[in-house]
């Protein structure tokens, strides 16, 4: 059961995810979280660096879809100016939004990576659906109330995984 919380990869940020490496792995699509993965949870708009990252993915024919547990207004304000498909109130880790994103991108599970900053939503949801998962370090260390609670449990799980040799990176 604990393995469902274990990401396939861990990187510092989405900027460490390169299209050439993805393409070598047969990846054609990214399902990504928004808050604390692409921008800080309290930042409305995309940064110039994130805009450039999306453009790089687009130039390399890698489709990107944002799925977020946040409300429609929050996700729409970020996604629409970038012309990035999105799903809001995704209820991650439940699989419906992940499967819907894959269907919309017209890609198979083995052609998609799930990227996010949380074990209990992004990694667990992606793993339960059979996707390759990439955990990123949260952009900021402040969170909303529910996420703060999740982070406490995440730290315990990561400490246990580190102790058992399942995780080799530092927090």
Q: What is the CATH number of the domain that holds 155?
A: 3.40.50.1000
* pLDDT value, residue 131: 97
Give the number of residues written for the chain: 171
Look at residue 171 and tell me if it is in a domain.
no
* pLDDT value, residue 163: 77
Look at residue 170 and tell me if it is in a domain.
no
Structurally, how many domains does the chain consist of?
1
Look at residue 143 and tell me if it is in a domain.
yes
Angle at 35 between CA 30 and CA 40, to 5 degrees: 120
- Positions of the chain with pLDDT lower than 70, given as ranges: 1, 142-148, 151, 167-171
Q: How far is the CA of 122 from the CAs of 52, 116, 119, 126, in angstroms?
A: 23, 5, 6, 6
What domain range is 7 assigned to? Answer: 2-163
- What is the distance between the alpha carbons of residues 40 and 19, in angstroms, rounded to a whole number? 23
Look at residue 71 and tell me if it is in a domain.
yes
Look at residue 99 and tell me if it is in a domain.
yes
Look at residue 87 and tell me if it is in a domain.
yes
Q: What is the pTM of this model?
A: 0.87
Look at residue 35 and tell me if it is in a domain.
yes
Look at residue 169 and tell me if it is in a domain.
no
């Amino acid at each position: 059961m604990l393995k469902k919380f274990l990401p396939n990869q861990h990187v510092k940020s989405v900027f460490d995810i390169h299209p050439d490496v993805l393409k070598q792995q047969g990846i054609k699509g990214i399902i990504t979280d928004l808050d604390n993965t692409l921008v800080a949870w309290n930042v409305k708009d995309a940064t110039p660096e994130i805009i450039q990252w999306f453009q790089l993915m687009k130039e390399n024919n890698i489709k990107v879809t944002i799925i977020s547990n946040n409300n429609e207004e929050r996700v729409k304000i970020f996604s629409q100016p970038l012309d990035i498909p999105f799903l809001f109130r995704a209820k991650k880790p439940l699989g419906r939004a992940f499967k819907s994103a894959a269907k919309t991108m017209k890609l198979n599970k083995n052609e998609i990576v799930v990227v996010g900053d949380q074990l209990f939503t992004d990694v667990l949801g992606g793993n339960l659906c059979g996707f390759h998962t990439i955990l990123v370090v949260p952009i900021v260390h402040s969170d909303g109330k529910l996420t703060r609670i999740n982070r406490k449990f995440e730290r315990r799980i990561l400490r246990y995984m580190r102790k058992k040799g399942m995780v080799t990176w530092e927090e």
